[in-house]
A and B are shown apart, each in its own frame.
Chain A
């Protein structure tokens, strides 16, 4: 794969209207069923999780915030002691926990609270009781939204067992909805490819890693995890991300090539689900075709999703903003984006909104802090967080993915009589 001539990228710095990495906890704790995420931070961090987790907060979730108070800021010795007490109480209350993450925040990073050291100390104490303790940072100063998952998975990589000399195995990295994970597992089994997933559903099921490991990233925001896996000897396979019929086919094909699967076998396995995906997409294409779309930066899913919408739904990307552009991992999708797309990395939200207002695309993908205000200005929006929470990867979700973008357009048509311009 050649990314072709490097495309111009607008790099901006200014106010960023994005989530911090702590948000990753909201979906990661659903995925690793015996893990607990303890944020060491302020009331602001706790408040963010409350807001982001919505009603989940009331379901005895496996995350919490150890709130730093004034007395903790006075001297560092106390903080470690207090943290030990909090952890002891927590594990006594939740004996089902097998993996505890201490999650760093902006306040804990700024006061240079060494959570890695705290985790190592706690881990030594807890290991005999069958509980592992690890640390990573989800702070806003270091991570943007989905990068919290990257930091979490990268912290798991050193804990993965060393693979023996059993030949090549595939490792699919990135948390996926269980239903999607199961679909991929069936496809890899049918292709004859031995495959593992990271993260696993339970802490004790970490897959092995070693020089025989071939890594396929399922999510575009896993730069640190990929680097950590490479340090363990694994090889990361560049591929477009598995969105839509063609994205999923290309992603699987990269694995098939690496594992020497014959063309006939590949076709036999993917033909039926690919046809299903194409049928499902065809339903949404008439509505989406020719519509102009802009993405504001949020999750790093923007480039692969723009690829999907352009290539498979006929949409016209105007501006594709992403918090970070990893040329290496986003390259295969970038290469398939149409000419003339404005790529933007980073953000100055006021200027970006000026461009959105000037472009007036048919659909703006943005966060919930901007969606209602833009709707009030007469623009149609798709709130972006849903793309991270919903099952959207793979053949059998291709139609659902297109529907997520079609729905606001359909709704606008249905409610046309309510629009302020209709009343005048």
Chain B
């Protein structure tokens, strides 16, 4: 569906039970598409089971062709239709439709979504590409490349394509075909006319690129331009293949990440421990950004797509850490809990895990929710993508620090709840003065006192509150344990500092 929806003039007929149309929502809501995905569902029901589901499929295919007049059609079976064993490809072949009909074999009980998209794209390219077309002679024209891999529901694919197209333009290179996103059947047929293929998203385009390499005997650029350094590598690599000078493109005016990251304000980022998880391509690329471009320490690296486990393991080895290849979020959660990072970079799921364990987090990979299909321009690729990544990776930390400071100074007279907004200081002054001496006992203390265990004297309680909140709980526990062990029933300021010195040994 992600491939069909990305393209123009292609219609997908999917043999599936009633209810599976829920998947339309992902495109109309999360990606906010203004058209229905070009997918017809047979939506069979229990009463249809038996001989006529095949007939139902053929009718759906015929109607979809008549209504939408696509230039090519895809046919496939959903997980349930796979079980009832109508053969969409075979059925379609008997119908003699006047357009290419491409059958998809997507084993839904062993493979997943990215694999399905890659397989669909490969099937489309294999069926529609015109093998006789070759690039025209280079004299008198700029070199041209294909950008392969962007789809519907891709994380920032829309803006990555724009950014990489601009980048190539500064290098003097034209984009011949972008596929599947926005491509027509004619575009796919013309893939052979480019000088070079660029595999932007290996999860989607790697198998199609391999096929093109074999068919046209030309190389694929596999460096993914995510991050400043990788973008530089990408530019040099493309320039090298096409015999161009990379210098003008590398001198691009808007590469702000290098200076932002070297400026003194970023010093506190040094050695921040980050955990990175997502699809393999984004996880590997962003781990490199984290280490080499922001000065973080990558303490965890993982991906959910087993197809690229080898690449991920190699990257983890380079960082000297244990790789994590799993699609079980509980495993990810356990690893995050064990590693105790200071920043989590991941998918929507890691954002929720981070929220639960109160860690700062940024989203760097699909699956994502609607807010990560933003209205504003926000690529992750190219030099502007690196700028976006700097902001994305640093903001949660700055905000984390802000929150930390605000909570730390919560009892400070200017920040307390009673103080009110500063521009209304005069009207709040009296109230503020009245509120000042009152100290509300923390619930734990009240409970302890009620239980008749150890009680805190008001002085000691006040002193405890001067300790930063993030170690206050520990100080309270230690002091109470110290007091209990010595039979002290009322904790004074003295007891507090006695305990502190006791435990600091």
Interface residues of A (CB under 8 A from B): 14-23, 42-44, 47-48, 51-52, 55, 58, 68-70, 72-73, 106-107, 109-111, 139-142, 144, 350, 367-373, 375-376
Residue from B26, B34, B43 having most chain A Cβ neighbours under 10 A: B43
Smallest beta-carbon distance A404→chain B, Å: 18
Please determine whether B34 and A373 come into contact, CB atoms closer than 8 angstroms: yes
CB-defined contacts of A21 to chain B, threshold 8 Å = 19
Q: Is the interface of A mostly helix, strand, loop or mixed?
A: helix
CB-defined contacts of A42 to chain B, threshold 8 Å = 79-80, 108-109
B470 at the interface (CB under 8 A from A): no
CB-defined contacts of B107 to chain A, threshold 8 Å = 70
Smallest beta-carbon distance A15→chain B, Å: 5
CB-defined contacts of A68 to chain B, threshold 8 Å = 109
CB-defined contacts of B45 to chain A, threshold 8 Å = 140-142
Question: Considering the chains assembled together, what is the distance between the CA atoms of A398 and B29 in angstroms?
Answer: 28
Please determine whether A106 and B80 come into contact, CB atoms closer than 8 angstroms: yes
Please determine whether A15 and B40 come into contact, CB atoms closer than 8 angstroms: yes
Point out the residue from A14, A52, A55, A107 that lies within 8 Å of B80, measured CB to CB: A107
CB-defined contacts of A55 to chain B, threshold 8 Å = 352
Given contacts A15-B43, A350-B63, 6 further A-B contacts (CB under 8 A): A23-B22, A44-B108, A48-B19, A48-B20, A70-B110, A140-B17
Interface residues of B (CB under 8 A from A): 17-26, 28-29, 32-36, 40-46, 48-49, 60, 63, 67, 78-80, 83-84, 107-110, 112, 349, 352, 355-356
CB-defined contacts of A23 to chain B, threshold 8 Å = 22
Smallest beta-carbon distance A125→chain B, Å: 25
Please determine whether A107 and B79 come into contact, CB atoms closer than 8 angstroms: yes
- Known contacts: A111-B83, A350-B67. The answer to whether A106 contacts B32 by CB under 8 A is no
Residue from B21, B29, B41, B349 having most chain A Cβ neighbours under 10 A: B21
Smallest beta-carbon distance B106→chain A, Å: 11
Residue from A19, A21, A367, A369 having most chain B Cβ neighbours under 10 A: A369
CB-defined contacts of B46 to chain A, threshold 8 Å = 109, 139, 141-142
Which residue of chain B has its CB nearest to the CB of A354? B67
Smallest beta-carbon distance A25→chain B, Å: 13
CB-defined contacts of B19 to chain A, threshold 8 Å = 18-22, 48, 106, 139-140, 144
CB-defined contacts of A15 to chain B, threshold 8 Å = 21, 40-43, 60
Please determine whether B21 and A369 come into contact, CB atoms closer than 8 angstroms: yes
Smallest beta-carbon distance B384→chain A, Å: 27
Which residue of chain A has its CB nearest to the CB of B107? A70
Please determine whether A44 and B20 come into contact, CB atoms closer than 8 angstroms: yes
Question: Considering the chains assembled together, what is the distance between the CA atoms of A261 and B83 in angstroms?
Answer: 56
Residue from A21, A23, A51, A372 having most chain B Cβ neighbours under 10 A: A372
Question: Considering the chains assembled together, what is the distance between the CA atoms of A52 and B108 in angstroms?
Answer: 20
CB-defined contacts of B79 to chain A, threshold 8 Å = 42-44, 106-107
- Known contacts: A43-B112, A109-B46. The answer to whether A141 contacts B80 by CB under 8 A is yes
Please determine whether A16 and B36 come into contact, CB atoms closer than 8 angstroms: no
Which residue of chain B has its CB nearest to the CB of A22? B19
- Known contacts: A140-B17, A350-B67, A368-B28. The answer to whether A110 contacts B84 by CB under 8 A is yes
Which residue of chain B has its CB nearest to the CB of A41? B79
Which residue of chain A has its CB nearest to the CB of B43? A16
Which residue of chain B has its CB nearest to the CB of A140? B19
Smallest beta-carbon distance B283→chain A, Å: 20
Point out the residue from B23, B35, B41, B352 that lies within 8 Å of A58, measured CB to CB: B352
Question: Considering the chains assembled together, what is the distance between the CA atoms of A174 and B43 in angstroms?
Answer: 27
Please determine whether B34 and A376 come into contact, CB atoms closer than 8 angstroms: yes
Please determine whether A372 and B110 come into contact, CB atoms closer than 8 angstroms: no
Please determine whether B28 and A369 come into contact, CB atoms closer than 8 angstroms: yes
- Known contacts: A368-B29, A369-B36, A372-B34. The answer to whether A73 contacts B17 by CB under 8 A is no
